[in-house]
């Protein structure tokens, strides 16, 4: 089996990400960045946000919910969540965006912090046995 031909065939059949997806999320990412800067100025740890599809009033641990934090989600089709990290080069946060599509989901990770290798542009993750991998 020619592996390169198989991969090429898979890439052709993947559903495309709508070009408007990233642009629609840009204002939300900017708002999150602003709120995180406010936390840093107030000498607080970075804020973590629960997955938006779950509930905008849900919160992670002792962190405020999206609603309490004053972050308007608007009409987005994507799931968004914010994770924080402390690594060997310092601390930061990752905004994780997921767009469900037939057969899987697209995932994008935007990193604000020293470990940029944790982030990536939109990638397709195929669904297997009812869950995306």
What tens digit of pLDDT does each residue of 48-79 get?
Answer: 998 887 666 666 777 888 888 888 887 788 88
Residue with tokens 């470990």: 115
Per-domain residue ranges for the chain?
18-132
Tokens of 94: 């990752």
Q: What pLDDT was estimated at residue 9?
A: 44
- With 80 as the cut, is the pLDDT of residue 82 above it? yes
Cα gap 28→71, rounded to integer Å: 8
Q: Which residue has the higher pLDDT, 54 or 118?
A: 118
Cα gap 31→13, rounded to integer Å: 35
Q: Which residues contact 18 (CB under 8 A, 6 or more apart)?
A: none
What tens digit of pLDDT does each residue of 7-46 get?
Answer: 444 444 555 555 556 677 888 999 999 999 998 888 888 9
Q: What pLDDT was estimated at residue 51?
A: 87
Scanning the chain, the segments in alpha helix (DSSP H) are 3-13, 20-41, 66-69
Average pLDDT over residues 72-99: 90
- With 90 as the cut, is the pLDDT of residue 110 above it? yes
Q: What pLDDT was estimated at residue 68?
A: 87
Q: What pLDDT was estimated at residue 75?
A: 76
- Do 45 and 39 form a contact (C-beta atoms < 8 A)? yes
């Amino acid at each position: 089996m020619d592996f390169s031909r198989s991969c090429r065939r898979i890439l052709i059949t993947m559903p495309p990400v709508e070009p408007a997806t990233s642009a629609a999320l840009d204002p939300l990412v900017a708002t999150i960045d602003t709120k995180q800067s406010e936390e840093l100025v107030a000498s607080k740890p970075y804020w973590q946000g629960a997955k938006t599809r779950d509930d905008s009033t849900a919160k992670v641990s002792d962190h405020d919910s999206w609603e309490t934090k004053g972050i308007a989600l608007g009409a987005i089709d994507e799931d968004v969540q914010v994770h924080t990290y402390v690594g060997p080069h310092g601390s930061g946060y990752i905004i994780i965006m997921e767009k469900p599509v037939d057969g899987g989901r697209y995932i994008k990770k935007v990193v604000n912090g020293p470990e940029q290798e944790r982030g990536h542009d939109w990638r397709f993750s195929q669904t297997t046995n009812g869950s995306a991998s």
